[in-house]
Amino acid sequence: MNGPLLELKNISQAYGDHWVVRNLSLSLNKGEIGCLLGASGCGKTTVLRTIAGFEPLLRGEIHLNGTTISREGHSLPPAKRAIGMVFQDYALFPHLTLFDNVAFGLRELSRPETVVRVHEMLELVGLDKAHAKYPHEISGGQQQRVALARALAPRPALLLLDEPFSNLDVTLRERLSTEVRDILKSYGATALFVTHNQHEAFAVADRIGVMADGAMLQWASAHELYHCPADRTVASFVGEGMLIPGLVEDAGDITTGLGVHRGIMCRPGGLPGRAIELLVRPEDVVHDDNSPIKAEVVRRNFRGASILYTLRLVSGDLVQALVPSHCDHAPGEHIGIRSDVRHVVVFDREDDVVTKAALEEA
Amino acid sequence: MPRHSTTRTAPRRGAVPFLNRGFYTGWRIATLFIALLVIIPLSVVFFSWHDPAREIWQHITETLLGNLLRNTFWLVTGVSTGTILLGVSLAWLTAVCEFPGRRFFTWALLLPLAMPAYVLAFVSLGLFDYAGPVQTWLRAWFGSSSWFPDVRATGGVVTILTLALYPYVYLLSRNAFQTQGKRLLEAAESLGCGPWRAFFLVVLPMARPWIAGGTLLVIMEALADFGAVSIFNYDTFTTAIYKAWFGFFSLPAAAQLASCLVLLVFFIIVAEQRMRSRMRFSESRQSAKSERILLDRRWRWLAFAYATTVLSFAFLLPLLQLLRWSLNIFHQEFTSRYLALLGHSLLLGLSAALLICACALLLAYTARRHPDAATCALVRTANLGYALPGTVLAVGIFIPVAALDNSVISLGRLFGFETGQIFQGTLLIMLVAYLVRFMAAGFKTIDGAMHRVTPSIDEAARLAGLRGLKLLGRVHLPILRNGLLSAFTLVFVDVMKEMPITLMTRPFGWDTLAVKIFELTSEGEWERAALPAVTLLLTGLVPIILLMRNSES
């Protein structure tokens, strides 16, 4: 089959007068893992629930495997969508054993087939030995994996995961997120999950959509999101870094307090003479004692392998630098730095817009 | 230095530091004493078999026992089936669905708890009996009412108790449905289950411990019911115990019948305790507010009609009828005799509530100080009395008190005194019986409040320099105050409504509202019983309001 497996076309959702999803589109190919990333309340879970069929669609269309499963005034019941879901609180049936939980969605299989499938699924998540236990007898991480096995067991066309790791502690979260990716990939599943944690998104997803206030800001790979963010919100939400003011020169070079930057701009940003802001990631600033550019250490944040310094340039602008932790400097010291910005990302300066608006008003 | 070492070892986690070491055993002894008050009447009814009242017992087995067992079986089967059907369906409608008036019905469906079963029983008889207004009206319109079911038959008493007791199942299963939230239903749907299938595969099985718990409470109440069945002349063990004592004047026979009833109750208690542990087991963490199922137009109004019907028959119609009767007879019944009855009821209710709250507080502190297995078992035993029917307790406490009296009298004679009966014919027997029967109601509430006094609260108070009575007065009592107040109210109202214990052990001529209702209804004087019944109903509303306020917060 050609074309994407899942396609959302300009969908919108509202609770009463409040629009929670605005004109959102995305598409996911078979075997891909997608992720909706955004702060809580940005509408990402609503998108997921709409795809699952728990919320009727107000505007737009949702296609799965080429058929329309949701459009205005029409919604295929959740039970008929062939979509599996892993819930934030796992929603395991407490009155059923792990075996029966996984077997719950397999009513169309014969008994021997069911037994084979359930054991296959439990083995996939490494819990085959515990099949006779009840959900409250296993740990949170194990419950999470059972929820995954249960959702995958009926071989859904698409798997949805709602904040799948948010109920786990940090160390477990990291381990499980790679584990879940391996399971999904080995199973060839197409999945869309929702999280507010970018590390999870980076670890698991092939494509990530950053959402804010119900709208999709950018739908791209992790690399592209980080190095070529579509706007300020994405730039500040994904990864660390600072925006420093600069000026576009005639040759297309950019002058800032860090010096002159030459590079390929991700997108045409600013005409010569325009005041812009340049995105400087911590790894763009290299500690170099020989460099003529000096900066004052304002804050240091020890991270083990490296130290994240917040530095004040002579121009007064702040930048961050990720420096191997051998180089220990106290706040107040001046250290030499040079810039190594490889992906030049610029935005029109906000105050620029403000002055323009003020001028028009006058 | 020695002082230092005691402060270091004595106050363990959760300890109450204002009492010294010497009291440690005092707590346990007091608890043991209260537990004995439960154990003694139980042993008394079972030991009654060492001297079987042969002639009366023979008469009982030949003529009564078969009938008693048959009646009890149908009562329990019918009432439990009825309360499950009513309670679960109403709970599901109000907890998960949306239909007109749902918010109103959510609390209004609890109102029948305020109506003692015997009040509902006599009002319904007055309304639907052959001579009542409903059948009279039917005859006037259709010429005959012979097709009308016989309200005095088994079906009648089962219906009355079902209507009076369904709120227990309703309350507990509603709780279960609410805590389940909608997430599991959605999980089932995402796995290919339609909503109805999901209801039977997920929602209902998960609520099972709660439904069963509520039903077992209902069965206990049905087995213990004395007032309603005696109004319907429907012989069960409770009425048989009463008749054996006050008809055949045979306390041993009454005690032996009581032991049969206790045996039945015993199985129910064991089952209920197991359900309770299961309920704790599968308590779900999520209580996320979930969207309700919007019923379509036809079902919406059917749900409305259904809830209205149940509420009308269980509460509204009887209430209206009671008010009508009360208005009719108010000027002739509202006399000093009524006020005396009211005074007795109030006095009993207040003193029992005070006594029970004090003892419950003591038990709660003991449970908190000594969380060891033996003490926990004692506290649990002390709270088992809620399962013992009032008739059983009346017999089980009267017998040892009478024996005590007799031995005091003979001891007095030995020394040349003529003492007479000291305890019999006093309020003491009643109060002890109430204490046993209603301890659990008070304890549960106070213990719940006690859990809010966490060990760290004690520790924080001690760091702030509060000890002893100051700690009690400034920290514990303010936190416990609401709990104590609701416990007091609950027990007070329960005692006001209580019928068999009061009827069987009251001092001569010392009538209360409940006793008066029994006497008037046994003569078919429905109308005259209305005024005391309305009084009890109004007091009964107070704890319902408390309950509703608690469930909202």
Q: pLDDT tens across A221-266, in order?
A: 999 999 888 888 898 888 888 888 888 887 778 888 888 887 767 6
Nearest CA in chain A to B201: A104
* DSSP letter for each residue of A15-45: ETTEEEEEEEEEEE-TT-EEEEE--TTSSHH
Tokens found for residue A356: 């323009």
pLDDT of residue A271: 67
pLDDT at B15 exceeding the cut of 50: no
Give the tens place of pLDDT for each residue, A87-132: 888 888 888 899 999 999 888 889 999 999 999 999 988 899 999 9
For residues B16 and A13, what is the distance between their CA atoms, to the nearest angstrom? 56
Smallest CA-to-CA distance from B391 within B189, B281, B243 is with B243
Q: Which of B473, B492, B525 is the last residue of a domain?
A: B473
Structure tokens that stand for B69 in this block: 């067992």
Q: What is the pLDDT of residues B290-300, one digit of tens each?
A: 567 777 888 99
Q: For B465-484, how does the pLDDT look when each residue is reduced to its tens digit (9 = 90+)?
A: 777 777 878 888 888 888 89
Of residues B403 and A270, the one with the higher pLDDT is B403
**Structure-model confidence comparison of residues B417 and B518, the more confident one:** B518
Supply B151's token pair: 């309200």
Contacts of range A250-259, beta carbons closer than 8 Å, 24 or more positions apart: A254/A278, A254/A344, A254/A346, A256/A315, A256/A317, A257/A313, A257/A314, A257/A315, A257/A316, A257/A317, A258/A285, A258/A293, A258/A313, A258/A319, A258/A337, A258/A339, A258/A341, A259/A293, A259/A338, A259/A339
Residue A311 has what pLDDT?
93
Query: In this model, does residue A360 exceed pLDDT 70?
Result: no
Chain A contact for B69 (CB, 8 A cutoff): no
CATH number of A240-361: 2.40.50.140
What percentage of chain B has pLDDT greater than the value 90? 37
Statement to judge: residues B240 and B352 lie in one domain: no
Q: Are residues B155 and B120 in the same domain?
A: yes
B248 in a structural domain:
yes
Task: List the single residue in B with minimal CA-CA distance to A152.
Answer: B191
Residues in CB range of A358: below 8 A, 6 or more apart: none
When the pLDDT of each residue in chain A is averaged and rounded to a whole number, the result is 87
Question: Rounded to an integer, what distance in angstroms lies between the CA atom of residue A226 and that of residue A216?
Answer: 16
The answer to whether A91 contacts chain B (CB < 8 Å) is yes
Say if B26 falls within a structural domain.
yes
Whether B424 and B368 share a structural domain: yes
Residues A5, A190 contacting (CB under 8 angstroms)? yes
Shortest alpha-carbon distance between residue B97 and chain A (Å)? 16
* CATH 3.40.50.300 boundaries in chain A: 6-233
DSSP structure class, residue B386 = G
Residue given tokens 């499938």 in the structure block? A117
Q: Is B141 exposed, middle or buried (0-12, 13-18, 19+ CB in 10 A)?
A: exposed
| Strand partners for A338 | A286
Task: Please name the residues in contact with B367: beta carbons below 8 A apart, sequence gap of 6 or more.
Answer: B375, B376, B379, B447, B450
**Each residue's pLDDT tens digit, A142-185:** 998 999 999 999 999 999 999 888 888 888 888 888 888 998 99
**What is the model's pLDDT at position A167?**
80
- Provide the domain limits for residue B107: 57-285
Judged against a pLDDT cut of 60, whether residue B392 lies above it is answered with: yes
Q: What is the mean pLDDT of residues B19-23?
A: 47
- How many structural domains is chain B composed of? 2
Per-residue confidence at A356, pLDDT binned at 50, 70, 90? Answer: very low
Residues of chain A with CATH 2.40.50.140: 240-361
Residue A295 has pLDDT above 80, yes or no: yes
Residue A194 or residue A346, greater confidence = A194
Chain A residue with the nearest C-alpha to that of B288: A89
Closest chain A C-alpha to B202 CA, distance in angstroms? 7
Please list, in sequence order, all residues whose beta carbon lies within 8 angstroms of the beta carbon of residue B426, skipping any fewer than 6 positions away. B507
Q: Which helix (H) or strand (E) holds A217?
A: strand A215-220
Helices (H) and strands (E) counted in chain B, each on its own, are 26, 2
Question: Does residue B123 belong to any structural domain of this protein?
Answer: yes
State residue A268's pLDDT score: 61
Decide if B450 contacts B480 (C-beta within 8 A).
yes
Domain identity same for B278 and B393: no
Interface touch A85/B205, C-beta < 8 Å: no
Q: In what order do the strands lie in the sheet with A254-256?
A: A259-261, A254-256, A242-248, A275-280, A346-348
The two tokens of residue A335 are: 């250290």
Residues B31, B78: one domain? no
Shared domain for B162 and B262, answered yes or no, is: yes
Question: Which chain A positions have a beta carbon within 8 Å of B189's beta carbon?
Answer: 53-54, 77-79
Task: Check if B208 contacts A (Cβ < 8 Å).
Answer: yes
Q: Using the 3D structure, point to which of B233, B258, B285 is the last residue of a domain.
A: B285
Q: Are residues B385 and B274 in the same domain?
A: no
Tell me: do B69 and B30 sit in the same domain. no
Strands (E), B318-376: none
d(CA A317, CA A311): 8
Question: What is the C-alpha to C-alpha distance for residues B6 and B13, in angstroms, rounded to an integer?
Answer: 14
Answer for the pair A138, A173: CB distance below 8 angstroms, yes or no. Answer: no
- Residue of A76, A104, A108, A133 to mutate, interface with B, max B Cβ within 10 Å: A104
pLDDT for B491: 92
Q: What is the DSSP string of B140-166?
A: HHHS--TTS--TTSHHHHHHHHHHHHH
B36 with B67, same domain: the answer is no
Q: Is residue B501 one of the residues assigned to a domain?
A: no
| Amino acid code (one letter) for B438 | F
Beta strands in B323-474 (DSSP E): none
pLDDT at A1 over 80: no
At A26, the pLDDT band (50, 70, 90 cuts) reads very high
Across the interface, do A54 and B187 touch by the CB < 8 Å criterion?
Answer: no
To the nearest whole Å, the CA of B290 is away from the closest chain A CA by 12
Check: CB of residue A33 under 8 Å from CB of residue A63. no
Q: Are residues B217 and B241 in the same domain?
A: yes
Residue B287: the pLDDT is 44
pTM of the model: 0.77
pLDDT for res B455: 79
Q: Report if residue B488 sits inside a domain.
A: no
pLDDT tens-digit readout, B122-154: 999 988 888 888 888 888 888 877 778 888 888
B133 in a domain, yes or no?
yes
Q: Quick one: B7 and B136 in the same domain?
A: no
Split at pLDDT 50, 70, 90, the class of B509 is: confident
Q: CB of A239 within 8 A of CB of A283?
A: no
DSSP sequence for A153-170: TT--SEEEEESTTTTS-H
Contact yes or no for A94 and B284 at CB 8 A: yes
- Looking at the fold, whether B187 and B261 belong to one and the same domain comes out as yes
SS3 B235: coil
- Does the pLDDT value for residue B225 go beyond 90? yes
**Among A116-130, A300-314, B24-38, which stretch is predicted with the lowest mean pLDDT?**
B24-38
For residue B193, the chain A residues in CB contact (below 8 A) are: 79, 104-105
pLDDT at B358 > cutoff 80: yes
Beta carbons of A95 and B208 less than 8 Å apart: yes
pLDDT value for A350: 62
In angstroms, the first-to-last Cα distance of chain A is: 59
* Parallel, antiparallel or unpaired: strands A259-261 and A294-302: unpaired
Over 50: is that where the pLDDT of B12 sits? no
Short-list B94, B115, B78, CA closest to B314: B115
Q: For the residues A41-46, what does the mean pLDDT come to?
A: 89
What would the pLDDT profile of B58-73 be if each residue is shown by its tens digit? Answer: 877 788 888 999 999 9
pLDDT over 80 at B423, yes or no: no
Distance CA A54, CA B188 (A): 12
What is the rounded end-to-end Cα distance, in angstroms, of chain B? 48
Contacts A85 to B, Cβ<8 Å: 186-187, 190
Residues 6+ apart with CB under 8 A from B124: B151, B156, B160, B318
Please answer whether residues B39 and B246 qualify as being in contact, where contact means their C-beta atoms are separated by less than 8 angstroms.
no
Distance from CA of B87 to the nearest CA of A (A): 22
The residue from B285, B311, B334 where one domain ends is B285
pLDDT of residue A62: 94
Whether B186 sits inside 8 A of A83 (CB atoms) is: no
In the stretch 232-291 of chain B, residues with CB closer than 8 A to chain A read: 281-282, 284-286
Residue B253 lies in a domain: yes
Mean pLDDT, chain B, integer = 85
> What gap in Å lies between CA A149 and CA A46, rounded to an integer?
23
Contact residues on chain B for A89, CB-CB shorter than 8 A = 183, 285-286
Strand partners, A285: A339
Q: Which two tokens stand for residue B180?
A: 């389940």
pLDDT tens-place string over residues A330-348: 999 999 998 888 888 888 7
CATH topology of domain A6-233: Rossmann fold (3.40.50)
Other C-beta atoms closer than 10 Å to the C-beta of B88 total 24
- The larger pLDDT score, comparing residue B4 to residue B104, is at B104
> Which among A95, A100, A101, A107 is the top mutation candidate for probing chain B, defined by the most B β-carbons within 10 Å of its own β-carbon?
A95
